[in-house]
Chain A
């Protein structure tokens, strides 16, 4: 048992989140996947803070959480606006910006 376990777990969670972004179409679920990716990064930061013996990693993880909260607020507001005009929360339906 070493800190590597935490890091590998974080990598796997990150990958699951990324694949979720790619395969899910519900915008809210996609957002959840992004949250999962952010959380796995936080786990990495906390782990490295412990390994390096400084507390800066935790501070940055805190900042990530704050930024994630702001991002969630804005993102969900955008999803609401899109839903209100298009009656759909599918990311595939918002595809007008193309060739």
Chain B
């Protein structure tokens, strides 16, 4: 049986970065990808906007993936493609993985595990859309795969529900391919995607964005014939009497992503209800020793660059992972936050490159973010505005702050009056 220091599961922007950094840190590394090619969802992202932070230039998703793949090829990391992790079991000194591939069944042993399994899309039924079940209802990512990977048109007259980034990108993409996008509907009063995507994908193509409106019903027995949209109240419930019947042949959903953590759960990794990813410390180690998590598996990021950044860190720390008792310090957050990652700090581990990722719970104007240690402010940062769709990042050297397992760490937001 083969034996590795670090095994990374998932070959997208997180997993590629993790495998590279683990190998660079001197660990014997294995990268497992279930698809035939590396890159994860980047393979179908032919639009640009990737890599501004990491590579200092605007790349398409495919180019971004290619850069990482080339880098991986310079390392000694082993690669298994078209390989599925059927089972992961905890053992005394690591993890036993059962792998399925065209080559047969195989077991490998690894000391540390990095989960980089990405996320899946929320479906129509998970946002309570009713009516019939005809062909022509796609999640945005599936429509993107059909169009950009298979070269097939998923529809011609499309309604898009949800203003998440993939939905916006698909609105433009479908328009460029000759389909008619009748409108993007968003149940929330604010758009969920990045402002740049609203502007570049909708305004530039005269695609209307309807806020506080949702799709309630799908019509058509065989192929989608129409959808009913309705205004929603502040609790997102459709308001009777506001229904509108919109003939179309396709409904595309961009209504959220859910981190894929089934493998993590099978290993007993506790998940944060808010992020739907594992709780972790600043090393991206989950609450189960030796299991690391990164990228969209941990929490849904806006940018592939951030996904890779957490992959870098998770891979590097997994490489130097050695079993010891951890006494974790919770990161306390005020209600102003939707969430903060990491949720814990390990005072015994390296704190010099701590990075907090957070999302605000509500849209805010000028805001001061404060980090308090035992009631004393140790860092602050000012923001001109915060929006829930935009993830924020604060790198912070906490090594000299004197953290102990009994410290109290708090993150707060304060309004700044100008």
To the question of whether A and B form a pair in one complex, the answer is no
